[in-house]
């Protein structure tokens, strides 16, 4: 093959690619989305954060790696990743453990200090993970006691009906790992959701 033939084939190739790809941004709005557009749109919030997805570590939250936190705060429910709340929320939660959603929680001083340091230093405002950024943005200056009170989290679950949440296998929206099968790995992608019967 001569250099010229190769060049012409290269041009033809580019043309084919662009012919297929260009109309999708303009004309395809009302049609079934193409598979590659679904990948591009994977994150359905139109807020210019798509580029963050190239780094998968930034899509996922860090796994809980503090044994004291896991043991003490994972005894009754899923051990929530610290990145799911700002430090001000964690401080409020730790300051009200004598009435923790109707439960009384006792911690010795050492454990309490370890848990507080862990939660504070890994909280949402210090994270560049996509979800944590969205959580901070949606909170503005609110300091909720619950992850499930965060506007971003509420919005993401508006299609889950109260009857579904009442199922014995779920109980409440607080039970993240009932539906997010990879929650403990810090992965909350919609592809990894299975709502139990
Ligand atoms: C004795 C059981 C128990 C222990 C131990 C416990 N919790 Fe809880 N926690 C609860 C209950 C009950 C709820 C409310 C769950 C619900 O509404 O379904 C809750 C809810 C929460 C929520 C809010 C979840 C949501 O709805 O967004 C957070 C955050 C939380 N706990 C953090 C902690 C932390 C931090 C610790 C450790 C210091 C801890 N919990 C230890 C019982 C416990
Ligand atoms: C009853 C099942 C259920 C429970 C419990 C639940 N989720 Fe979800 N979650 C869903 C569903 C369904 C979606 C929406 C998936 C979609 O958009 O297709 C979702 C979406 C999300 C998203 C957005 C994912 C994305 O790709 O945009 C995040 C983040 C999330 N959940 C976090 C949590 C956290 C944190 C908890 C616990 C405090 C929780 N969820 C509890 C079912 C659940």
The CA 182 to ligand 1 mean position distance, Å, reads 20
Percent of the chain with pLDDT over 70: 73
User: Which ligand sits closest to the CA of 92?
Assistant: 1
Q: Which of 3, 27, 189, 174 is nearest to 93 (CA)?
A: 174
37 lines ligand 1 (CB under 6 A): no
The CA distance from 96 to 146, in Å, is: 13
> Using alpha carbons only, what angle is made at residue 175 by residues 76 and 74, rounded to the nearest 5 degrees?
30
> Can you read off the two tokens belonging to residue 158?
């508006």
The CA 112 to ligand 1 mean position distance, Å, reads 15
119-168 pLDDT tens trace: 999 999 999 999 999 999 999 999 999 999 999 999 999 999 999 999 99
71-99 pLDDT tens trace: 999 999 999 999 999 999 999 999 999 99
The CA distance from 138 to 136, in Å, is: 6
């Amino acid at each position: 093959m001569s250099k010229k033939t190769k060049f012409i084939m290269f041009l033809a190739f580019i043309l084919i690619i662009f012919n297929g790809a260009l109309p999708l941004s303009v004309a395809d709005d009302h049609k079934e989305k193409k598979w590659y557009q679904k990948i591009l749109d994977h994150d359905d919030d139109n807020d210019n954060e798509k580029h963050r997805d190239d780094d998968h570590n930034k899509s996922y939250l860090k796994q809980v790696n503090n044994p004291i936190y896991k043991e003490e705060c994972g005894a009754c429910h899923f051990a929530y990743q610290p990145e799911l709340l700002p430090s001000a929320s964690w401080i409020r939660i730790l300051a009200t453990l004598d009435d923790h959603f109707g439960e009384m929680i006792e911690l010795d001083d050492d454990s309490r200090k370890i848990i507080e340091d862990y939660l504070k230093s890994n909280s949402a405002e210090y994270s560049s993970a996509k979800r944590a950024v969205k959580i901070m943005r949606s909170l503005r200056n609110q300091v909720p006691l619950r992850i499930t009170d965060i506007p971003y989290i509420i919005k993401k679950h508006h299609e889950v009906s109260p009857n579904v949440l009442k199922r014995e296998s779920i109980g409440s929206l607080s039970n993240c790992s009932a539906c997010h099968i990879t929650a403990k790995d810090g992965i909350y992608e919609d592809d990894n959701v299975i709502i139990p019967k």
